[in-house]
Structure 1
């Protein structure tokens, strides 16, 4: 790697522009833009130790940097997009779904246009509808359309063959095609069919319904019952297509709804395409998050990449997002220039658009969870994660059993430690344990860590598990102990293990920056690569430990609150307390009962009921067992 000080740029202008970091062989590895080039580039070289590890790696990998000044930020957006597309820099986030989604296409430049399912590059002169997530959905829609509007769906080669044969295909025989190949309709009549399809796909269905209904009634009055039946079938088919594309907004709504969900390692994107008030398509994908930009900046990059390749009608009137943009004015101006119309970019605050955005957000979050579950279930990925972790921590072998300890409390009280267990990189929930901190009150994470480590790993020495099946899992020796915390917490864990004579058990701390792992006594952290399976595994273990700790802390806090209210009431023992809570659900509901209603319970009388209700009139709040929320 090159010493960054050797290529630190000089005489950088204080102007807006776009810059490129390059390797020695001129490969572009990062593209960025700045309002002030001098300030931005200086930030990379002033103190490299303060940079995010991923950014620091980029600066050390590069060997040179150059730039181009522009007149304004809109030009900077355009040039940045062009360079990212041209060079595909490895340190830039690319929002790609790695899929080619199908579109419903009308080939309007042909003499007799066809309807077809297409993928890939779009051709000028064609009209595209979509994208659709599933090809079966678009084929189902197309089949319903040709039942109503007999537009041709054959390939050009098939069309020409039947022209020469002067005989229609099967679709022509069953009236699913107007058969222009054998001149059953002339060019004007066929154009009307195409216009009806366009009107329908653009959401203008009222006129089409009226026309078909009129023709059906007319044929019936003329006693042309077969013809009337055909129009009836077309109306039924049209209703089915309309149901597939239910109107969710008014007819004028033309918008893309884009939701972004993130964690430390991933970006999940969900897009709904609404045209003429109908959801015409949706798509979703998950990308690796290779830098630590804020969400508004990620959204700017996302919109630039999506709409940089589109123009005109392909860009909707509205782009609705679930987060604000940091550079909203310039992004809006740039996209509007591409669209050749005014485009409104905003976050919906109320109404149906906000509801659909909430749905989009949930989908993005669910897609993120599904992606992580799929990745964690992959045997090769799990094996690679353990190997990478062993290599990074310089372990002799892969850590097949990992235990992680997390401390949680509520305002310094009810301090609880969780211990979660992963074997072969898979969570073993039956081995999870919680520890109530007993040696002190208040908040002191290192001290709590020391207590938990001492209590848990003493079982490896004392052999208590031989007679105690409830703690059987404690007999298993972990390959690695992860501590959710920095150097102070991991040092406390290390000291506790050493006091037990278990110096062979490795222990590592997980810092706030997820990719930083701290070994006891270390001056610098171990940095895991952002896109590594090892980092993904550490994230899952840390998140699971935190979730488990918070849940148990809330339950303990709630239980203490309930016990403190009911236990002090004379004549109310453990069985009666359990009976009341099982029957009524919570102390707040018991408090609302009257004396007679409470006294009717078996084993209760008016004297005890009065004592209970008097005792519950105190101001002590009660808590929801699941959430820790104050109920009264």
Structure 2
């Protein structure tokens, strides 16, 4: 941990001007970027008494090794430079408002001859209109399915479109009236684009015009006695109205706005944003972030606006800035104005390419919507804190359920699991994973190459791994007992006034390695040993523990077929409820052991399969092996080559060539002679 005083700049050397600053660690990596109206005032605050700093700020300044700054002329330039540096360096102490998931949008590929409607996730592309984001993909598909009745536009992929153009027959949607089938010429490309334009106008907020037009056409059809067409238009009107009900009007003036609200405490904050387009809520997003320093709401607003809209301006590349995908709407509603409100507004207007209003709603519909967004932020923040606390609560419940379900003396705070992996008995390996308090302790994971038990199947392999693991535990315990006896003898000798019985200080605590001072990884037994398998595997592990004299470790097997828990020595399995936290924890432990064993098995097979006869030749490194194989093309041709031909390869001398020739010819001779030798030995026996 670095001392901030070692890199603190002289107070007089810091300019009293606006600018952007960077903290770097001892390796030169940027770990934090910030901006300030006065660099001198802001940077001096980081070098105050450490005990008075925010916990994350204290961690940042003690992780840094240097600080540097850049002076700018205006606060807008500071905003731009701060965003650019955060994006370039991705500092680990800067809050990044990144989604933990990719929000889906409804995309319309206007850049194609036959535009397509699709649910889309990913970066924005030029020539494509986007509507959203939506919280769930199913919400888009439900709305799209409803609107295709009125706007039968293409939704198929390019491959499907080409296939139906070739066969001259439309797809199912074309037959049921949810596609105008431009692939077979039912409509021209121009007519299909008109349908797509109407679809975009409807989603863009021009709903009243569309409704009035359909009502007029329905009346004209009824007057002309075209009752089937009138009934179809009536059904289309119903579909449009149902789609509109899903997007209730929240702002009667048809405003395009983003409404932002926060919920926070001293260490974290939640932000919610509602995207309102044409007076209707078209999307919603939310984040929960950890605070880097003590931050009030105006500072949170400023940081969020700069990062969120800067990122949107980078991602969104559309030709129509009035679409739902515009980087910045005409109006941004916030709970409090940032300190540099004018600079932020100017920066946002530059991103939009037009005037942007940044304000706090005071009354009316916009104030009511702000309160709704604030309630959503508070709810998301409460759920976040409950999830954090719930993780600990769920683990505690799982351990308690295991204790009750398996009739253990205490909750299994340390669980170890053994799993075996092989392919038809070859390359048999095993894994040992450790969970403490329901959480993986990966530093204690171990893997085993099974030796004696490989030929006896999974039961013998599990017995071998259990014996090797607990034999080490017993040997560590014997060393601990010897150390404790020496400590007792020294104490007795000191009490009697004599010298130390051993002449050395053996006050190392039990379970601690006296050479490293660290706890021995397997100095303590698990409360519960889980093996992957049923009764025979569990009984084999229990028999090994009994032979070693270990009686305080419970052993169970978890069978994959029905997820039955087999307690060693019991004729019938324990059936834990499918929804129980205890069974879920056992499954996690078993699956982690399975993953770790398979990874080791693949690694071992890969190393064996890639091993070459050239690997053991002294003086032949990787570069020369590669050169030889590249020159001759295969090991067979290399084996047939003479010493002169081998030494002709660049970098290979005659001495090395002779070694290669000798090794390969000896290998070939061994291949022909070995069976004869074995037959002779067999006959002698």
TM-score range, shorter chain: 0.5 to 0.7
SS of 1:371's equivalent in the other structure is helix
Cα shift at 1:221: 3.4
TM-score by length of 1: 0.59
SS of 2:149's equivalent in the other structure is helix
Q: Which residue of 2 aligns with 1:31?
A: 33
Is 1:231 paired with 2:244? no
Q: Which residue of 1 aligns with 2:389?
A: 376
Cα distance per residue 1:497-523 (max 9 Å; x no partner) = xxxxxxxxxxxxxxxxxxxxxxxxxxx
SS of 2:108's equivalent in the other structure is strand
Q: In structure 2, what is the Cα distance between the partners aligned to 1:376 and 1:208?
A: 50
Q: Which residue of 2 aligns with 1:7?
A: 7
1:333 to 336, 341, 346: 346
Cα shift at 1:43: 2.8
Q: Which residue of 1 aligns with 2:295?
A: 293
Q: In structure 2, what is the Cα distance between the partners aligned to 1:355 and 1:376?
A: 32
Q: Which residue of 1 aligns with 2:79?
A: 77
Is 1:266 paired with 2:268? yes
Cα shift at 1:185: 0.8
User: 1:382–1:289: structure 2 CA closer, same or farther, 3 Å change rule?
Assistant: farther
User: 1:251–1:49: structure 2 CA closer, same or farther, 3 Å change rule?
Assistant: closer
User: 1:65–1:335: structure 2 CA closer, same or farther, 3 Å change rule?
Assistant: same
- Taking the TM superposition and a 5 Å limit, the aligned residue runs for 1:111-510 are 111-311=113-313, 312=321, 313-379=326-392
Q: In structure 1, what is the Cα distance between the partners aligned to 2:267 and 2:382?
A: 12
Q: In structure 2, what is the Cα distance between the partners aligned to 1:63 and 1:128?
A: 45
Q: In structure 2, what is the Cα distance between the partners aligned to 1:89 and 1:331?
A: 22
SS of 1:117's equivalent in the other structure is strand
User: 1:131–1:337: structure 2 CA closer, same or farther, 3 Å change rule?
Assistant: same
- Runs of at least 5 residues in structure 1 that lack an aligned partner in the other structure: 384-397, 401-423, 426-632
SS of 2:122's equivalent in the other structure is coil
Q: Which residue of 2 aligns with 1:21?
A: 23
Cα distance per residue 1:394-446 (max 9 Å; x no partner) = xxxx9x9xxxxxxxxxxxxxxxxxxxxxxx99xxxxxxxxxxxxxxxxxxxxx
Is 1:99 paired with 2:83? no
Q: Which residue of 2 aligns with 1:43?
A: 45
Q: In structure 2, what is the Cα distance between the partners aligned to 1:108 and 1:54?
A: 47
Cα distance per residue 1:76-96 (max 9 Å; x no partner) = 111111111222222222223
Cα shift at 1:323: 2.4
Q: In structure 2, what is the Cα distance between the partners aligned to 1:181 and 1:265?
A: 57
Cα shift at 1:151: 1.0
Q: In structure 2, what is the Cα distance between the partners aligned to 1:338 and 1:310?
A: 9
- Taking the TM superposition and a 5 Å limit, the aligned residue runs for 1:61-72 are 61-72=63-74
SS of 1:78's equivalent in the other structure is helix
Asked if 1 retains the 8 angstrom alpha-carbon contact of 2:271 and 2:287, the reply is yes
Cα distance per residue 1:369-417 (max 9 Å; x no partner) = 111112211148867xxxxxxxxxxxxxx9x9xxxxxxxxxxxxxxxxx
Greater shift, 271-280 or 83-92, is seen at: 83-92
Q: In structure 2, what is the Cα distance between the partners aligned to 1:178 and 1:41?
A: 64
Asked if 2 retains the 8 angstrom alpha-carbon contact of 1:24 and 1:62, the reply is yes
User: 1:70–1:94: structure 2 CA closer, same or farther, 3 Å change rule?
Assistant: same
Cα shift at 1:320: 0.6
Aligned length: 389
Cα shift at 1:158: 1.1
Asked if 2 retains the 8 angstrom alpha-carbon contact of 1:310 and 1:338, the reply is no
Q: In structure 2, what is the Cα distance between the partners aligned to 1:33 and 1:97?
A: 24
Q: In structure 2, what is the Cα distance between the partners aligned to 1:292 and 1:382?
A: 32
Cα shift at 1:135: 1.4
Cα distance per residue 1:273-313 (max 9 Å; x no partner) = 11011111112232222321111101111111111123453
Asked if 2 retains the 8 angstrom alpha-carbon contact of 1:77 and 1:304, the reply is yes
- Runs of at least 5 residues in structure 2 that lack an aligned partner in the other structure: 314-320, 397-410, 414-436, 439-685
Asked if 2 retains the 8 angstrom alpha-carbon contact of 1:376 and 1:382, the reply is no
Q: In structure 2, what is the Cα distance between the partners aligned to 1:167 and 1:30?
A: 60
Q: In structure 2, what is the Cα distance between the partners aligned to 1:53 and 1:288?
A: 11
Asked if 1 retains the 8 angstrom alpha-carbon contact of 2:56 and 2:291, the reply is no
Q: In structure 2, what is the Cα distance between the partners aligned to 1:15 and 1:328?
A: 18
Q: In structure 2, what is the Cα distance between the partners aligned to 1:241 and 1:303?
A: 31
SS of 2:293's equivalent in the other structure is coil
Q: In structure 2, what is the Cα distance between the partners aligned to 1:43 and 1:281?
A: 39
Asked if 1 retains the 8 angstrom alpha-carbon contact of 2:57 and 2:292, the reply is no
Asked if 1 retains the 8 angstrom alpha-carbon contact of 2:248 and 2:281, the reply is yes
Asked if 1 retains the 8 angstrom alpha-carbon contact of 2:111 and 2:127, the reply is yes
Larger Rg: 2
Cα shift at 1:39: 2.9
Cα distance per residue 1:522-558 (max 9 Å; x no partner) = xxxxxxxxxxxxxxxxxxxxxxxxxxxxxxxxxxxxx
Cα distance per residue 1:188-221 (max 9 Å; x no partner) = 2112211211110111122212222233233333
Asked if 2 retains the 8 angstrom alpha-carbon contact of 1:255 and 1:273, the reply is yes
Q: In structure 1, what is the Cα distance between the partners aligned to 2:55 and 2:231?
A: 71
Q: In structure 2, what is the Cα distance between the partners aligned to 1:86 and 1:138?
A: 34
SS of 1:148's equivalent in the other structure is coil
TM-score by length of 2: 0.54
Q: In structure 1, what is the Cα distance between the partners aligned to 2:249 and 2:271?
A: 23
RMSD: 2.4
Q: In structure 2, what is the Cα distance between the partners aligned to 1:364 and 1:221?
A: 53
Q: In structure 2, what is the Cα distance between the partners aligned to 1:310 and 1:76?
A: 19
Asked if 1 retains the 8 angstrom alpha-carbon contact of 2:218 and 2:234, the reply is yes
Q: In structure 1, what is the Cα distance between the partners aligned to 2:307 and 2:137?
A: 24
Asked if 1 retains the 8 angstrom alpha-carbon contact of 2:164 and 2:171, the reply is yes
User: 1:340–1:354: structure 2 CA closer, same or farther, 3 Å change rule?
Assistant: same
User: 1:54–1:265: structure 2 CA closer, same or farther, 3 Å change rule?
Assistant: closer
Q: In structure 1, what is the Cα distance between the partners aligned to 2:276 and 2:299?
A: 25
